[in-house]
Structure 1
Amino acid sequence: MSKDRKGFMLIASYFVIAVLLILVAAYVARSVSEWRAAESDKNSVAAFYAAESGIDYALNWLRSQGSPPAGTVPFDLPAGPSIETGTYNVIIDPYNDNPTTYLKKYKIISLGQSGNSRRQLEYVVQVDSFARYVWLTDTETFRWYGDRYAVYFVTGDLLTGPTHTNGHYNISGDPVFNDLVTSVDNYINYLHGGPPDDNPTFAEGVQLGAEPLPLPSKAVDLRTAAVQEGMHITGPATIVFQANGTMNVTCPHENWDNENMPMPANGALFVTGGDLTISGTVNGRISVGTNRNVIISDNLLYNTDPRTNPESTDMLGIIAERDVIIPQTAPYDLTILASIMAMDDSLYVENWSSPPAKGTLTVYGGIIQDERGPIGTFNSTTNQKVSGYTKNYIYDPRLCICPPPFYPTTGDYIGLSWREPPQTPEEQ
């Protein structure tokens, strides 16, 4: 082989080797780049989950406090439980109007970190209220002459809104539940054994074995607010709300006979030592309560009906430390716009077992009671109403965020908003 040919072959070999080296270098560089990108993505996801862990830790910390934190100054939480995938730091920022607001709000700011990646989450929470439910009971039974009896939802009953019981539901026929249904017991009691004779509609599902939600036995906050800056009177008393924002009050102890007066400015009215009878049209925001019974003698309406005008600010809370009673003299097709709470024991219809049937009880708001009270009776074979009212309970969605004044709270928090703020290049 000539020297020129040998030289050409040598040059060609060098060229091929150079090309191969370039390709290998490019492959290695690309692999390193992809590895770094994958590692960055992995760290970013881990940082996100670390930030979520910080949110969970902050919620558990808030729930563990005896009362909602005071003040308006943001504060760091002590170090929480460690996690394998990263670290987190949490700040709780109280809202500036918390000192003058009953349901306090907080912004939880959680910064998660994994490797060089950081992710920040912000979660706004508010103190939770029992007014969040259209239906809540500790038990779906009631005591009658020393024995305990189940109370049923039956064909024709309609509930629209979140429902919960610390016991189990009793079903006969085809009642309709248009929102999530939860119960602590892991079963439902069907009068006829279940479908096809008992075939309820659970439009948003049913969760059995849920966590219990303890109910309070005293309206402490409402009573305190009424004594300090509202209206506190010795009962018995009768109040008829007026559409102009006033109320007519009858109270023998105060020598008031249908006395017209404004509603208390802070929206708190409490009666001690006697029953409170109410009816009329509410214009404004007020909660009424008593350490005895509340008697709803006639329709309770709002001046601006939220069913047709969601911008209505009228709101009524009814809290009895004993029973809430619908008397036998109440009208056919009774309508109550309010969130009702019977702490010990029930909401029930007087002489509930006596015919005839009285149409429909419409509650736009909610019913919370310790023991479920009877509203009427039904024929167990046909599921037709025999006495009392058919139920039409509809949740007022305004109650979730803006319940009646000084309505009892659950000790928990509900989420109002969640976001991940945009990151700066230095944070990515």
Structure 2
Amino acid sequence: MGGKGALFLVIGFSLIFVVIGRNISNISVRAYDNAMKYYVKTNAYSIALAGANIAASKVFFNNSWRDGYDDVEYNGGEYSVDVKTIDAIRDVVKITSVGTYGKGNMKETHTVEVKLQPSSFSKYGYFSNKEKIGSSTIWWTSKDTVWGPFHTNDKISIYGDPVFMGKASSYRGIYEYRGSNPEFNGGYSRSAEELPIPDEGVDNIGTAAQNDGLYFNNQDTVYLEFKGDSLNFKYGANKSDTTLYLPDASKNGTIFANAATIRMKGVVDGKYTVAASQELVTATSGYWKWNRRKRKYVWKKTTTTTIKGGKIYLDDDVVYKDDPRLGPSDDILGIVAEQEIFITDNAANAHDINIQAAMFSQEKGFGSENYSSRPASGYINLLGGITQDSRMAVGTFSSYGVSHGFSKRYRYDDRLMVMSPPFFPGTGNFEVVSWYE
């Protein structure tokens, strides 16, 4: 029995080891398969990611590129990329990149989706193309405080101790009057890239306003007063108001006056962009002049061109119903003019003005009406940002302080880094708004 028992014991252990060995072998095979699948999936993911990055780079350098790619070999696999415009008005672009790696039952695909949209000028706390009026320098002075991203394609001129809270940059450097000591709390770049202002920014808003927005035409002046989610408008100071419920009157958030001047004020509830375009008006006239050689009178024709409309006047405070500094707010406003944006010289603006908006002047700038003759009028309390072709004056100063007009208290609305008013003019560059892997 002892011998047979030992034999059975040996056979039993042998069977156990055979089963264990087989299981170990199966585990090893499955582990190998899992490792291979992971390797294949990882490569498919990397290839799809590469295709998305390559396509995004193409769009960044050529905004109109929509060709995509078909079956491009890459790193042992291949990618195909579809690039299409999914919102023609906002120019939103969707990139779909499919990466493939492996063969047979070890073949894997992965998809990466990226959405791009034009970068908006509303992301700047302050932007200018030129920092002079003609040959006259406009200075940043000791009472000036600017929040948010700051850029000028010109030179920054400093007189005293202005404070720049965000990142500041300029294309042409900086000039500091003797004894000046500016504070750049977010850093300063003195030779940044030049960024041109687009010519079609206002026109694009007009196109949008004719497609589900509010469009005013054939008027010289349009008066607008925001009343929360309603808007009062009229076509003269002594005319009667007409009231509109804005969510119905402007479904896409655009309010546009074609070849007209806008005068506005009020409390804004919602997301809107107010814009005014200009029209060049050509007039022909003439006079009779004696021609000695021909010994008769000849008609001398003269042609003059004037600008109609394109200006926006802020007749009083323009603020949000829900102040984003005090709590959550989805109110956001763009003020866009082809010509100047002016703070009106009137009694309502004699002691400070509050502006909550991102402002854009395509060919001129933001300034104070009668800046050199109106009394000292306190502060411009701006929450938002300013983009302008030419910096304009809001007041005059001496060694004793502000003599006429306003001091500046510009505070950036941090929400503008990630959101912008409807159809606000873009920089011409794209930025990523979503990336799904």
Q: TM-score normalised to the size of structure 1?
A: 0.71
1:221 maps to 204
Which residue of 166, 177, 199 corresponds with 1:179?
Answer: 166
- Aligned AA (1:213): L
2:26 maps to none
How far does residue 386 in structure 1 lie from its aligned partner after superposition? 1.9
Q: Within 5 Å, which residues of 2 pair with 1:264-283?
A: 264-283=250-269
1:358 maps to 377
Residues 66/123 of structure 1: CA separation in 2 closer, same or farther (3 Å cut): closer
Which residue of 209, 217, 223 corresponds with 1:238?
Answer: 223
- Aligned AA (1:135): Y
Q: Does 1:410 align with 2:427?
A: yes
Q: Does 1:299 align with 2:284?
A: no
For 2:367 and 2:274, the matched residues in 1 are separated by: 18
For 2:145 and 2:82, the matched residues in 1 are separated by: 41
Residues 68/104 of structure 1: CA separation in 2 closer, same or farther (3 Å cut): farther
2:137 maps to 150
Which residue of 389, 392, 412 corresponds with 1:373?
Answer: 392
How far does residue 411 in structure 1 lie from its aligned partner after superposition? 1.5
For 1:256 and 1:352, the matched residues in 2 are separated by: 29
Q: TM-score normalised to the size of structure 2?
A: 0.70
1:102 maps to 90
Residues 121/293 of structure 1: CA separation in 2 closer, same or farther (3 Å cut): same
Q: Would you say the 8 A contact 1:355–1:386 is kept in 2?
A: no
For 1:141 and 1:387, the matched residues in 2 are separated by: 18
Deviations 1:50-105 (A, max 9, x none): 99986664344113445485xxxxx844799x99x99995746669xx43872625
2:9 maps to none
How far does residue 111 in structure 1 lie from its aligned partner after superposition? 7.0
Question: Secondary structure in 1 aligned to 2:87?
Answer: helix
Residues 110/348 of structure 1: CA separation in 2 closer, same or farther (3 Å cut): farther
How far does residue 298 in structure 1 lie from its aligned partner after superposition? 0.4
- Aligned AA (2:373): S
Residues 169/262 of structure 1: CA separation in 2 closer, same or farther (3 Å cut): same
Q: Does 1:63 align with 2:60?
A: yes
2:38 maps to none
Q: Would you say the 8 A contact 2:58–2:65 is kept in 1?
A: no
Q: Does 1:249 align with 2:233?
A: yes
For 2:412 and 2:198, the matched residues in 1 are separated by: 21
Question: Secondary structure in 2 aligned to 1:273?
Answer: coil
Q: Would you say the 8 A contact 2:52–2:95 is kept in 1?
A: no
Q: Would you say the 8 A contact 2:119–2:427 is kept in 1?
A: yes
How far does residue 259 in structure 1 lie from its aligned partner after superposition? 1.3
Q: Would you say the 8 A contact 1:151–1:170 is kept in 2?
A: yes
Question: Secondary structure in 1 aligned to 2:204?
Answer: helix
Query: Which structure 1 residue ranges, 5 or more long, are not aligned?
Result: 1-43, 70-74, 114-118, 422-428
Aligned residues with identical type, % of pairs: 28
Query: Which structure 2 residue ranges, 5 or more long, are not aligned?
Result: 1-41, 102-109, 278-309
Q: Would you say the 8 A contact 2:79–2:98 is kept in 1?
A: yes
Root-mean-square deviation (CA, aligned residues, Å) is 3.5
Q: Would you say the 8 A contact 2:145–2:162 is kept in 1?
A: yes
2:243 maps to 260
2:194 maps to 212
For 2:157 and 2:78, the matched residues in 1 are separated by: 46
1:342 maps to 361
Q: Would you say the 8 A contact 1:249–1:256 is kept in 2?
A: no
Which residue of 314, 317, 330 corresponds with 1:313?
Answer: 330
* Aligned length, in residue pairs: 349
How far does residue 235 in structure 1 lie from its aligned partner after superposition? 3.1
1:166 maps to 153
